[in-house]
Amino acid sequence: MALILGIESSCDETGAAVVASGEKIISNVVASQIATHQRYGGVVPELASREHLRALVPVVRQALAEAGQTYQSLDAIAVTQGPGLMGALLAGISYAKALAFAAEKPLIAVNHLEGHIHAVLLEAKRKGNGQMEFPVLALVVSGGHTHLYLAAQYDAGWTYENVGRTRDDAAGEAFDKVAKLLGLGYPGGPIVDGLSKHGNPEAVPFALAQMKHRDRNQQGIPTGARVRFDFSYSGLKTAVLRYVQLHNLQASIDARRNALSSIAKPTVEDYLGLCDAQTFNLIASFQRAIVDDLTSKTLAAAREYDAETIFVTGGVAANNELRQRFGREAAMEGLPAHFPSRPLSTDNAAMIAAAAYPKFLAGDFAAMDLSAESGLVLR
Ligand code: KG4
Ligand code: ZN
């Protein structure tokens, strides 16, 4: 059994977890910074770095204490190298390097997106169902990313080919921006998810940009080699803004924003009292448009690339409607669709420790000059 301590600090959650041999979560601690960023309606990078510096030591200590482990009993220390916010990543990496050096443990660098993919495997293994049919098509959909990866297995590790990505806003970013626009607070995804069931998702017909296209080489000439399935959500955000302007909703939005700012933790009842039927319809229709697009493009990519299995992961994978739609529509095509549990969908360190395990087996360790890569690519 190999015990790996994972450390995650790529965005606004400070996470530490101890995972045994990439499959058993012994502890998983997450300190959320939502309270810090809430008043700004989004993550403020400088504040995120400072909050990580404050939270890292207690979070790691708590993860070790809950696991009944010490620095000495660990086999390796894994840390998120990127992608993410530069300062936030550096906080976690500096601390992980110092720990690895002091405790004389190997250091393992993990791509955050591979972590999200391994969160699905962790959950599947927990249910005793860790054997996957390849190729796996993984939709990684979060606040910073909307990516489709075709994953293949080699030895103990995986390789990834990106066959789709967002051209502008990530899906989670669209949830957050639209919630902010409608005076609903931050982060927008869980709020929109909870309120959508009170509206008619067909009330506002949103049309989304469809961008299935052949890959292009650097000169912009189609190579004709691979079909891509890219996403775009900034137009949808503008369409919501136009709807607000056309229907004169701004005054009621400002009143809602004011009312919510005086409530520390708004409940569903608070929201129900502050939104009318038209707003619920708008929210439900917005969510439906995103869920339609994510589901249909992923299934089209699965057909194009003869995928045997679908993974859906990242913060937006916590969304109820998205889970239901994938469950139903993938089953109709005879494809198993796997999700992480909700706590493993959003950022956490258990997924980082799990993704590090194949690298541990392969002796793929990071040097002490490891640094953050905010735009790290997954291959
Ligand atoms: O994976 P994550 O924790 O952090 C990133 O790597 O970005 O994802 C956070 C994103 C936020 O945009 C948040 O609004 C969204 O995931 N999210 C949701 C839900 N829960 C979180 N979006 C839709 N429905 C949800 N239930
Ligand atoms: Zn993430």
Q: Which of 146, 178, 188 is nearest to 164 (CA)?
A: 146
Q: How much is the pLDDT for 216?
A: 53
Q: Which of 162, 164, 294 is nearest to 236 (CA)?
A: 294
Are 87 and 45 spatial neighbours (Cβ–Cβ below 8 Å)? yes
Tell me the CA–centroid distance for residue 83 and ligand 2, in Å.
9
Compute, in degrees rounded to 10, the torsion defined by CA atoms 194, 136, 304, 293: 10
Q: Delimit the CATH 3.30.420.40 region(s) of the chain.
A: 3-131+343-362, 163-335
Cβ–ligand 1 distance for 144 under 6 Å, the answer yes
Q: How much is the pLDDT for 103?
A: 98
Tell me the CA–centroid distance for residue 214 and ligand 2, in Å.
28
Q: How much is the pLDDT for 14?
A: 98
Spatial separation of the C-alpha atoms in residues 94 and 332, rounded to whole Å: 47
Bridge partners for 216 per DSSP: 222
Q: How much is the pLDDT for 71?
A: 98
Strands 146-154 and 157-165: antiparallel
Residue to probe by mutation, ligand 1, list 112, 316, 342, most atoms within 8 Å of CB: 316
Are 91 and 9 spatial neighbours (Cβ–Cβ below 8 Å)? yes
Q: How much is the pLDDT for 210?
A: 66
* The CATH homologous superfamily of the domain defined by 3-131+343-362: ATPase, nucleotide binding domain (3.30.420.40)
For 207, how many CA atoms within 13 A lie in the half-sphere containing its CB?
Answer: 2
Spatial separation of the C-alpha atoms in residues 62 and 349, rounded to whole Å: 13
**Fold that domain 163-335 belongs to in CATH:** Nucleotidyltransferase; domain 5 (3.30.420)
Q: How much is the pLDDT for 199?
A: 98
Q: What is the 3-state secondary structure (H, E, C) of the chain?
A: CCEEEEEECCCCEEEEEEEECCCEEEEEEEEECHHHHHHHCCCCHHHHHHHHHHHHHHHHHHHHHHHCCCCCCCCEEEEEEECCCHHHHHHHHHHHHHHHHHHCCCEEEEEHHHHHHHHHHHHHHHCCCCCCCCCEEEEEECCCCEEEEEEEEECCEEEEEEEEEECCCCHHHHHHHHHHHCCCCCCHHHHHHHHHCCCCCCCCCCCCCCEEEEEECCCCCEEEEEEEEEECCHHHHHHHHHHHHHCCCHHHHHHHHHHHHCCCCCCHHHHHHHCCHHHHHHHHHHHHHHHHHHHHHHHHHHHHCCCCEEEEECHHHHCHHHHHHHHHHHHHCCCCEECCCHHHHCCCCHHHHHHHHHHHHHCCCCCCCCCCCCCCCCC
Q: pLDDT per position in the chain (379 positions), as tens?
A: 999 999 999 999 999 999 999 999 999 999 999 889 988 888 999 999 999 999 999 999 999 999 999 999 999 999 999 999 999 999 999 999 999 999 999 999 999 999 999 999 999 999 998 899 999 999 999 999 999 999 999 877 899 999 999 999 999 999 999 999 999 998 999 999 999 999 999 999 998 866 656 655 555 545 566 899 999 999 999 999 999 999 999 999 999 999 999 998 899 899 999 999 999 999 999 999 999 999 999 999 999 999 999 999 999 999 999 999 999 999 999 999 999 999 999 999 999 999 999 999 999 999 999 999 999 999 9
Tell me the CA–centroid distance for residue 295 and ligand 1, in Å.
17
Tell me the CA–centroid distance for residue 94 and ligand 2, in Å.
20
Nearest CA to ligand 1 atom 16: 315
Both tokens assigned to 50: 């400072």
| Distant-in-sequence, close-in-space partners of 292: CB < 8 Å, separation ≥ 6 | 208, 325
Are 211 and 204 spatial neighbours (Cβ–Cβ below 8 Å)? no
Q: How much is the pLDDT for 39?
A: 83
| Distant-in-sequence, close-in-space partners of 281: CB < 8 Å, separation ≥ 6 | 199, 200, 203, 204
Bridge partners for 79 per DSSP: 7, 109
Both tokens assigned to 327: 């469950």
pTM of the model: 0.94
Q: How much is the pLDDT for 150?
A: 98
Q: How much is the pLDDT for 219?
A: 56
Q: How much is the pLDDT for 223?
A: 57
Atom of ligand 1 nearest to the CA of 347: 3
For 160, how many CA atoms within 13 A lie in the half-sphere containing its CB?
Answer: 18
